[in-house]
Structure 1
Amino acid sequence: MAVYNLSAEQLRDKMNKGESLFILDVRNEGDYEDWKIEGKTIESLNIPYFEFLDDEDVADDRLPKDKDIVTVCAKGGSSEYVAEILDGKGFRAASLDGGMKAWSQVYNTILVHEEEQLKLYQINRLAKGCLSYMIFSKGEAAVVDPGRHLDVYTELAAREGAKITHILDSHVHADHISGGPALAKKTGADYFVTTSDLQGTPPFAYKPLEENKHIHFGDVEVEVLALETPGHTPGSVSFFINKRFMLSGDTIFVGGLGRPDLGGKAREWAEMLYDTVFNQLNDLADDVLVLPAHFADLSEINEQGIVGERLGTIRRNNKAMQTTEKAAFTEMVAGAASTETPPNYEAIIAINRGEKSVGEEEATELEIGPNRCAVHHHG
């Protein structure tokens, strides 16, 4: 009997409902340690596939009889084989269709805020910890930091009966391919990014953020104020919406700050990050809701399923943001930044600058793995 295959979207929906799931990951130990499916209701175990080839009973005493077990591998083949073995033993097993490759492309859309004139969604690419946003007002929509799977955004716009008119990238991303230029081409919307991050003239049309500090759309004053917040990259910006929401890109996270070393200038950019944190953002009120472009840890997702925190709470909990002495701050941030870099980040940056283009298959391969764009300093 063919074993039941669970799609990546079905797995996401089960997690959203808070279902208790047991994941049996049959990839090699190193791959599992580097990047795995995580969730607040998920228990996970790694037993490599080849161990089942040697001994089909290898997992029997380590698996629950009373829970749904989802077997996972890189692309879905090995996990199906293991699920069939378990199914034959009476376990409730299903294989994740398409494996981690499929999981890497799943998005979860959550409404952050709604009022008469403004609707704000956070779109979470769960496997990568990448976050993008859609802001709706009076039939118009702005998309911030979109991923390359354009249907996520066009379908949400259609559902809201809105036209996408503005697309904004907070910086040139290093861990995922931006959907910005392609989405602009598809929808006819304006694409905004800072010139300094592009380092040359790209083969796509864009509007420079440094010349467009106030962006308005919708009937009401939905003001998107681009705050230059360099540090993660020299041209990083944050978007301050209605003086209440800060879409902070990779400048400030719920649990850390953007890493300044991906351009090979860790100290120089860490000093820029210091000026951003203590000068640019100093006057922002504590009750501003910070909504970043990434998260690195499940603890950064709140009870509503949103990655976001009040600026005051982040200031209190973030060790780097309490280090007001510039030399000490620079040392802390530049020192911590020498951790593992995002996989393939040089190729991804080249694609996002328009210097290189790739097909769907290669794009998927380049994006496999977690994001590593944050430096964490828990107090």
Structure 2
Amino acid sequence: MAVKAMTAKEITEKALKKENLFILDVRNEADFNDWKIEGENFEYLNVPYFELIDGVDPIKEKLPKNKEILVVCAKEGSSKMVADMLDEAGISASYLEGGMKSWSEHLEKIKVYEDQDVTVYQFVRVGKGCLSYMIVSDGEALIVDPSRFVEEYEAFAKEVGAEIKHIVDSHLHADHISGGRMLADKLGADYYLMKSEGATFDFLPLEDHEKITFKNVMLEVLAVKTPGHTPGSVSFFVNNKLLFSGDTIFVSGLGRPDLGNKVKEWAKDLYKTVYSKVSQIADDVIVLPGHYGNLDEEMNEFGYIGATLGDIRKRNEKMFNATEEQFLEQVEKSASSVKPPNFEEIVAINRRGKFVDPEKMQELEIGPNRCAVHHAG
């Protein structure tokens, strides 16, 4: 009997439901330590595939007898072969369909907010820690920070009976290739970005559109020079209730200030952002960030990634109640952490708006998110 494939979506559902899963990861040790499938109740055994070429006998005693086993590799082939060997040895196991590449690309859709004016959906790219959003009002939709999988947004808009007419990017992303221009070109939608980001293609500058209104939505652009990856990051304040914070505020911290090699200057800008603009926003406003660091820690009791600004202030009390000197010292410490893989090339692609072939984009994006690294609790 052929072994079964498990999809990235099925694994995501297990992670969200906090189910048990034993993962046998047959990639090399460095790749496993750098980036793996994460779940609160997931257990792991990392044994490189080349150590199992002669059979699985060396690891049989290390495998659980009463837990579901999933074999994982980079592209699928090695994990399928190991799963077959386990099956021949009388051990039931599945393999990850499409390997870690499919894990990197899966988008999980979650409804995060609804009132009489708007419905908001969060697209969780679980394998990357990236978040994008669809704001729907009376049959019209706005997309925030879309990934390059434009067909997913298009199909979901049809599913909820909406037409995508507006697209915004909070900055030029460093860890993934934006789908903003691709989606706008395909659908004829308006695409907005800060002019100060230096993009070389046509778009609507957010400097000239401090408010975007449609149907029952009023989106305010909090245009400040904030750290993260760029000099022109922005946040979007919708109907005075929802703050789409891009890479400025995360549930567990603040944006990193070092990708532009101007740590001190951008850390000062971040201080001004936190203590002037953000300090004026009410505690009950819901913050919806552009990234997260740990799914188990940052997903709330309602099943999405986000929190009220009041909760974030409490969670990161040291950062929200610091002197400027203390703040700068704390933020600069985060600059020593590992930068996102291939970030310079990804930013360059996003700046030009000219996209390489899908396989190259997939290769550039592979690996973990390292944008939400500044946990300041």
TM-score, length-scaled by structure 2:
0.95
- The answer on 1:272 being equivalent to 2:269 is yes
Please state how far the C-alpha of 1:48 moved relative to its aligned partner.
1.6
Equivalent residue, structure 1, for 2:227: 231
Could you list the runs of 5+ residues in structure 2 that have no partner in the other structure?
none
- Separation in 1 of the partners of 2:122 and 2:25? 28
Report the residue type matching 1:192 in the other structure.
Y
Please state how far the C-alpha of 1:89 moved relative to its aligned partner.
2.2
Asked if 2 retains the 8 angstrom alpha-carbon contact of 1:67 and 1:92, the reply is no
The correspondence for 1:285, drawn from 270, 282, 287, is 282
Equivalent residue, structure 2, for 1:20: 20
- Separation in 1 of the partners of 2:5 and 2:373? 37
Could you list the runs of 5+ residues in structure 1 that have no partner in the other structure?
none
- Secondary structure of the residue aligned to 2:250 is coil
Equivalent residue, structure 1, for 2:62: 62
Comparing 317-326 with 165-174, greater Cα deviation is found at 317-326
Equivalent residue, structure 2, for 1:349: 347
Equivalent residue, structure 1, for 2:315: 317
Please state how far the C-alpha of 1:356 moved relative to its aligned partner.
5.1
Equivalent residue, structure 1, for 2:97: 97
Cα offsets for 1:214-249 (capped at 9, x unmatched): 11112x2x1111102422222111111111110000
Asked if 1 retains the 8 angstrom alpha-carbon contact of 2:319 and 2:376, the reply is no
Please state how far the C-alpha of 1:44 moved relative to its aligned partner.
2.3
Aligned pairs (5 A) from 1:34-183? 34-183=34-183
Asked if 2 retains the 8 angstrom alpha-carbon contact of 1:259 and 1:374, the reply is yes
Q: In structure 2, do the counterparts of structure 1 residues 355 and 179 end up closer, same or farther at CA, with 3 Å as the change threshold?
A: closer
- Separation in 2 of the partners of 1:129 and 1:149? 15
Q: In structure 2, do the counterparts of structure 1 residues 323 and 338 end up closer, same or farther at CA, with 3 Å as the change threshold?
A: farther
Cα offsets for 1:39-79 (capped at 9, x unmatched): 23322221221221255212211212222211000001111
Cα offsets for 1:73-103 (capped at 9, x unmatched): 0001111111011112222201111110111
- Secondary structure of the residue aligned to 1:59 is helix
- Separation in 1 of the partners of 2:319 and 2:86? 50
Comparing 52-61 with 298-307, greater Cα deviation is found at 52-61
- Secondary structure of the residue aligned to 2:185 is helix
- Separation in 1 of the partners of 2:69 and 2:160? 36
Equivalent residue, structure 2, for 1:2: 2
Asked if 1 retains the 8 angstrom alpha-carbon contact of 2:181 and 2:353, the reply is no
Asked if 2 retains the 8 angstrom alpha-carbon contact of 1:231 and 1:260, the reply is yes
- Secondary structure of the residue aligned to 1:294 is coil
Q: In structure 2, do the counterparts of structure 1 residues 182 and 270 end up closer, same or farther at CA, with 3 Å as the change threshold?
A: same
Report the residue type matching 1:286 in the other structure.
D
Q: In structure 2, do the counterparts of structure 1 residues 320 and 175 end up closer, same or farther at CA, with 3 Å as the change threshold?
A: farther
- Secondary structure of the residue aligned to 2:370 is coil
Report the residue type matching 2:99 in the other structure.
G
Q: Which aligned segments of 4 or more residues in structure 1 are displaced greater than 4 angstroms?
A: none
- Separation in 1 of the partners of 2:49 and 2:12? 24
Report the residue type matching 1:153 in the other structure.
Y
Asked if 2 retains the 8 angstrom alpha-carbon contact of 1:65 and 1:92, the reply is no
Q: In structure 2, do the counterparts of structure 1 residues 320 and 314 end up closer, same or farther at CA, with 3 Å as the change threshold?
A: same
- The answer on 1:254 being equivalent to 2:251 is yes
Please state how far the C-alpha of 1:338 moved relative to its aligned partner.
2.1
Report the residue type matching 1:256 in the other structure.
G
Asked if 2 retains the 8 angstrom alpha-carbon contact of 1:147 and 1:179, the reply is yes
Q: In structure 2, do the counterparts of structure 1 residues 320 and 213 end up closer, same or farther at CA, with 3 Å as the change threshold?
A: farther
- The answer on 1:295 being equivalent to 2:313 is no
- The answer on 1:190 being equivalent to 2:187 is no
- The answer on 1:244 being equivalent to 2:241 is yes
Asked if 2 retains the 8 angstrom alpha-carbon contact of 1:319 and 1:377, the reply is no
- Secondary structure of the residue aligned to 1:285 is coil
Asked if 1 retains the 8 angstrom alpha-carbon contact of 2:55 and 2:85, the reply is no
Cα offsets for 1:289-312 (capped at 9, x unmatched): 111000011211123331101111
- Separation in 1 of the partners of 2:166 and 2:334? 35
Q: In structure 2, do the counterparts of structure 1 residues 13 and 314 end up closer, same or farther at CA, with 3 Å as the change threshold?
A: closer
Aligned length: 374
- Separation in 1 of the partners of 2:7 and 2:212? 39
The correspondence for 1:304, drawn from 302, 312, 315, is 302
TM-score, length-scaled by structure 1:
0.95
Cα offsets for 1:137-192 (capped at 9, x unmatched): 00100000000001111111001111101100011100000000000001111000
RMSD between aligned residues: 1.6
